Amino acid sequence: MTDEDLLNSTQTAEVLGIGRTYVYELVRRGDLTPKRTHPNRFTREDVELLGDGWRRKRGPTHGLASTYRGYGCRCDECTRANTERTRLERADRFSRQPPKGSHGKATTYSNWGCRCGRCRKANTAYNAPYARAYQTRQKAMMS
Ligand SMILES: [Zn+2]
Ligand SMILES: [Zn+2]
């Protein structure tokens, strides 16, 4: 085992998402045991095992886009967070130029908001079947 597999109390606190003083509390309670050869150092394995146990008990943290995407949670809070994140990501893309070579695609038109001739054309072509289906439906309703 190399030194890299050992975490100091600051790193341990980071991995577990807790304050550093709480690490000492965990040691005092016997939840976490420092490595015998290195006082105040913990093996990454121990720390991650402890963290996993907590997460299982607690379940995922709701209200996060990462929980929506990573855990596939579809609760109201996570869905809202994901919608908001998607909106921000989209706004961010819209404020930048689409990557080179991405023009002439319907996705560049809709995801990047590109309105160049090539993207416009691609978007029209992409939507054509839907537009046709819509028109057919409209005509069927009229007759
Ligand atoms: Zn959720
Ligand atoms: Zn374009």
Give yes or no: residues 18 and 53 share one domain.
yes
- Domain extent for 38: 3-58
User: pTM for the full model?
Assistant: 0.47
On whether both 67 and 111 belong to a single domain, the answer is no
80 with 125, same domain: the answer is: no
**Closest-lying ligand to the alpha carbon of 105?**
2
Please check whether residues 73 and 117 belong to one and the same domain.
no
The Å distance, Cα 64 to ligand 1 centre, comes to 7
Is pLDDT of 42 > 90? Answer: yes
Q: Do residue 43 and residue 82 come from a single domain?
A: no
**Contacts of residue 17, Cβ cutoff 8 Å, sequence gap at least 6:** 51
Q: What is the mean pLDDT of the chain?
A: 90
Q: Give yes or no: residues 92 and 51 share one domain.
A: no
Indicate which ligand has the atom closest to the C-alpha of 62.
1
Where does the pLDDT of residue 2 fall: very low under 50, low under 70, confident under 90, or very high at 90 and above? low
- Is the same domain home to 54 and 36? yes
Residues 68 and 50 in one domain: no
Which of 16-25, 49-58, 125-134 bottoms out in mean pLDDT, i.e. has the lowest?
Answer: 49-58
What confidence category does residue 86 fall into, taking pLDDT thresholds of 50, 70 and 90? very high
**Same domain for 92 and 65:** yes
Task: Domain count for the chain, please give it.
Answer: 3
Which pLDDT score is estimated for 3?
A: 55
Centre of ligand 2 to C-alpha 96, Å, is: 12
Give the bridge partners for 42, in sequence order: 7
Answer whether 35's CB lies under 8 Å from 41's CB. yes
Ion ligand 2: residues, CB within 5 A, are 103, 114, 116, 119
Same domain, 14 and 53: yes
pLDDT of residue 5: 85
- Give yes or no: residues 76 and 45 share one domain: no
